[in-house]
Amino acid sequence: MAFATGVRAVTLALALGVAGAAAAQAPQAPAGEQAAPVPGQIVTQPPETILARDFLGQAVLAPDNSRLGVVTDLVLARDGRRVEGVVVAIGGFLGIGERNIALMMDRLTVTPAPDGGLKLVTDMAQEELARAPTFKPRRESEAERSKTPEPGDDPRR
């Protein structure tokens, strides 16, 4: 056990040393010269965009401005080019009894908030969301399917 821990420590030290050496050799613009952007690079956030960190943790409101929950995750298209929806933690108290539901982006109205943040409003009422099924990420669904016995399988095996 101690040997394995020692090997891990040496491996980590070597990896950090190699990463540090690589970072030291990374090309940099000469002193006093402005670095040129690479093709496809975004240097400054365009005003018509929103960062994911500004979305995550944001309250989702009902049409009457009552708080429904908080955005905990984003659902992206497989190619990563579109945000398909948001995962919202609803119900519960201090995280206990909370459950996640997912809403398509077209069910949210996103507007600037007076404090500079975002205001997310859905057209759904709290009662509707309380009856909505819980969202399951793909990995969780696949894990459940792999544990479910096929019809005719002997559960004692």
Task: Give the pLDDT confidence of 41-69 residue by residue, as tens digits.
Answer: 999 999 888 899 989 999 999 999 999 99
Q: Helix or strand or coil: residue 80? A: coil
pLDDT at 23 over 90: no
Q: Helix or strand or coil: residue 118? A: strand
∠ Cα 74 78 81 (to 5°): 75
**How many Å is the maximal CA-CA distance in the chain?**
74
Task: Give the pLDDT confidence of 70-124 residue by residue, as tens digits.
Answer: 999 999 999 999 999 999 999 877 667 789 999 999 999 999 888 888 999 999 9
CATH of 52-136, one of 1.10.10.10, 2.30.30.240, 3.30.830.10, 3.20.20.80: 2.30.30.240
pLDDT at 29 over 90: no
Is residue 14 very low, low, confident or very high in pLDDT (cuts 50, 70, 90)? very low
Q: Where does 35-146 show beta strands of DSSP type E?
A: 59-61, 67-76, 83-90, 99-104, 108-112, 118-122
